[in-house]
Chains A and B, each alone.
Chain A
Amino acid sequence: MKLTTMLLASAALGFAGAAHATDLEVIHWWTSKGESRAVAEFAKAFDNDGQGDHWIDSAIAGGDVARQTIMQRILGGDPPGAAQFNPGRQYEELIKNGQLLQLDDVAAAGHWADVIRPAKIQSACLVDGHWYCVPVNIHSWDWAWYSYAPFKAAGLPNPTNFDEFVADAPALKAAGFIPFAIGGDGGGWQISGAFDQILLAALGIETRDKMYRDKDTTIAASPEMLKALTNFKALKQFADDGYANRNWNDTTNMVITGKAALQIMGDWARGEFAAAGMTGVKDYGCMIGLNEDSPIVTTDGDVIVFPKQSDPAAEAAQKRLAALLISPAVQVAFNNAKGSMPVRGDVDMSTADPCMQKALMAVEHPDQIADSPGRFITADTSNALGALVSQFWSDDNMTAEQAQAKWVEIIKNAS
């Protein structure tokens, strides 16, 4: 009896308590300098929302560690108020278990279905007709960054697509440059990431997505797939032997200093060029979708989920934060600092650098948008494929046929 009254009283307080200061803990892995500036924009906006809210920053470097901590905190009954994920299947079990707050009312009020673009990224948060997360930015993997100097020194024109680069590679090598810059740290994510882009270009968006979505072994076993593997392995002769444990930063640095000609890496690489005082297009080349004429943008990035809270006041604050994260001003401030694209097109991004402008243009064309593989396959499958690609690259005794057979096997067993 008494308990009920108390609960009712506190609930009433919570609803009326817009004026009550609410602390909301946010777990994320934005810890480097640029990322820090970006997350500070979120925090600043939330702290100043006029409701007395307070952003408690729980940064944990490394997506794997951060996500694991989020899970364990939920399991331990101490869920954070908000948490970062990458769009895809990382949080599907949380949705299934009913551990995430539904944001349908916030989404309806903010017209998320209309303003979030491209439409494809909505499906990362819109599951079975309910909103479970807020997309906050778009990062794309599909970039080739190149240095002008080696091409000039070898007497070659700048490449306009990846095939041209491959054709130029022997000449670049003969001129004393490392044509293809790549690094093999952290289980070979740079290698598998680069292969994803080459595969995407080789199969096309539709076919590639079908293979991952439907676990289609026919596509996995197709000659096009084999060709992509063969072409990829052929690149190894144009990389240097120091690739094995190199970090992506150091790999990008080889392009910055002109030691190497070209690197395939996500849009965050611009941060390294900027740190070296270089501006895109003017000082270095960038191709999105590995092809200037037909760009492809993979809409990877970050989303924020809101684990369910027992306190109604906290829930109200979660919804305020959700609405805020996607509001135009916050989107611009955050993404300009982060170097990523906003998730809505109705904002002014004219201050973005020239490479980013290419992506902003491409993202307006639905036929140029690709989903990240993580939307269709589980982390388990994606890691197995990544390990395979990395193994294939490093093991000179493994043939493309053997790699393809293993690839088919993994796709077949995927769930």
Chain B
Amino acid sequence: MAQARKRRLRLSAIIGTVPMMIVAIGVYVIGIAFTVFWSFTDSKLFPNSTLVGFKQYHRLWQDDRWLVAVQNIWIFGILLMVFALAFGFLLAVFMDQEIRQEDLLRSIYLYPFAMSLIVTGLVWQWMLDPNFGIEHTVRSLGWANFQFSPLVDPNTAIYGLVVAGIWQGSGVTMAILLAGLRGIDAEIWKAARIDGIPIWRVYIFIVIPMMRGSIGTAFVLIAVGVVRVYDLVVAMTGGGPGISTNMPAVYVIDMITKSYNVGQGMAAATIMLLPVIAVIALIGLGRIVSTRRKNAAILRAEATA
């Protein structure tokens, strides 16, 4: 009886998540399977099934645009990850000090998230323009040697993108981390104060480990943003000067929508997904380990109670 009931209940759960299964299998698995398949074809304007072996991959790794893109994604990704998380965390910690006008400040930090990057990217481009942007303005105030026009030089343009990326993404990071901070038990601060532990040590050794979850969420959101970065690049640099700010997603999308070379775009997309698979496998593994540990902890707690 109980067994049958349990089975019936589990069936409801399965029925309830049918849309998820359909999407996971029907869209992502099949979609990605097609992506991999088409990467071995000579698909041009439309996908076709004329197989050409590894030709697209071979061409891909000979293309300067792709090589630059692969290099850039690491620079952009690591810098954005570090700065957006650090800046977002600092903002969150400072916002958590019972400050005035919290609602206003939070809205200010968040608004870039709501604006179309086509135009905000253009505004950043203007601000970084040597002829009338920040550099020009500061110079006209008297600092004749001031330099801040990263987008002009192929060697520094990528850092200009990082600055705008931080502007766009830090607000969301702040909101998630602030939320994580708010979830932490107030007793900890009391205890720390009684024990005379310096605040910064509380943050580093107690609070941050407790915020694993929200830091993880922020991490995933930033990572998705980095891997799929497209609008920001198109709006600010168009991949230039030259080819210096190309990114993998830009390369993939341009191959499909501008060069009508679906085959090569799919090959690039397939390569792009390899590190993602690796990272997700790692996280999945970590999750399994941590759930086990959690379950063990619950058991222990129940035993002592």
Q: Report the minimum CB–CB distance from A236 to chain B (whole Å).
A: 11
User: Is A390 in contact with B45, judged by CB distance below 8 angstroms?
Assistant: no
- List the B residue with the shortest CB-CB distance to A65: B257
**Chain A at the B interface: mostly helix, strand, loop or mixed?**
helix
Within 8 Å by CB of A394, from B45, B241, B259, lies B241
Q: Report the minimum CB–CB distance from B70 to chain A (whole Å).
A: 15
User: Is A390 in contact with B242, judged by CB distance below 8 angstroms?
Assistant: yes
Which of B157, B236, B260 gathers most chain A CB within 10 Å? B260
Q: Report the minimum CB–CB distance from B253 to chain A (whole Å).
A: 10
- List the B residue with the shortest CB-CB distance to A63: B258
Q: Report the minimum CB–CB distance from A73 to chain B (whole Å).
A: 12
Within 8 Å by CB of B45, from A65, A93, A186, A241, lies A93
List residues 170-220 of chain A with CB under 8 A from any CB of chain B: 184-188
A363 to B243, CA, bound (A): 36
User: Is B46 in contact with A380, judged by CB distance below 8 angstroms?
Assistant: no
- List the A residue with the shortest CB-CB distance to B128: A245
Is B130 interfacial (CB-CB < 8 Å)?
Answer: yes
Which residues of the partner chain A approach B129 to less than 8 Å between Cβ atoms? 242, 245-246
Within 8 Å by CB of A93, from B46, B237, B240, lies B46
Q: How many residues on chain A are close to B (CB under 8 Å)?
A: 37
A392 to B244, CA, bound (A): 11
- List the A residue with the shortest CB-CB distance to B126: A245
Which residues of the partner chain A approach B257 to less than 8 Å between Cβ atoms? 64-65, 67-68
Which residues of the partner chain B approach A242 to less than 8 Å between Cβ atoms? 129-131, 149, 152
Is A151 interfacial (CB-CB < 8 Å)?
Answer: no
Is B225 interfacial (CB-CB < 8 Å)?
Answer: no
Q: Mark A55-98, 1 if CB is under 8 A from B, else 0.
A: 00000000011011001000100000000000000100110010
- Total A-B contacts with CB atoms under 8 angstroms apart: 101
Which residues of the partner chain A approach B294 to less than 8 Å between Cβ atoms? none
Which residues of the partner chain B approach A384 to less than 8 Å between Cβ atoms? 63, 65, 259
User: Is B260 in contact with A184, judged by CB distance below 8 angstroms?
Assistant: no
List residues 205-264 of chain A with CB under 8 A from any CB of chain B: 240-246
Within 8 Å by CB of A75, from B46, B131, B258, lies B46
Within 8 Å by CB of B244, from A90, A240, A394, lies A394
Is A161 interfacial (CB-CB < 8 Å)?
Answer: no
Which residues of the partner chain A approach B96 to less than 8 Å between Cβ atoms? none
A272 to B237, CA, bound (A): 23
User: Is A93 in contact with B242, judged by CB distance below 8 angstroms?
Assistant: no
Asked if A93 meets B44 with Cβ closer than 8 Å, knowing A241-B130, A245-B236, the reply is yes
A64 to B238, CA, bound (A): 14
Within 8 Å by CB of B151, from A245, A388, A390, A392, lies A245
User: Is A245 in contact with B237, judged by CB distance below 8 angstroms?
Assistant: yes
Q: Report the minimum CB–CB distance from A120 to chain B (whole Å).
A: 23
Is B10 interfacial (CB-CB < 8 Å)?
Answer: no
Asked if A390 meets B44 with Cβ closer than 8 Å, knowing A241-B152, A242-B130, A242-B131, the reply is no
User: Is A188 in contact with B242, judged by CB distance below 8 angstroms?
Assistant: yes
A187 to B46, CA, bound (A): 24
Which residues of the partner chain B approach A186 to less than 8 Å between Cβ atoms? 238
A152 to B151, CA, bound (A): 34
- Given A93-B260, A379-B258, A393-B242, 4 other A-B contacts at CB below 8 A? A65-B257, A71-B45, A184-B241, A245-B129
Pairs across A and B, CB under 8 Å, 6 listed:
A64-B258, A90-B260, A94-B45, A240-B131, A244-B152, A380-B44
Q: What 10 A-B pairs have minimum CB-CB distances, sorted nearest first?
A: A394-B242, A394-B241, A391-B242, A380-B259, A93-B45, A242-B131, A186-B238, A68-B257, A380-B261, A187-B238
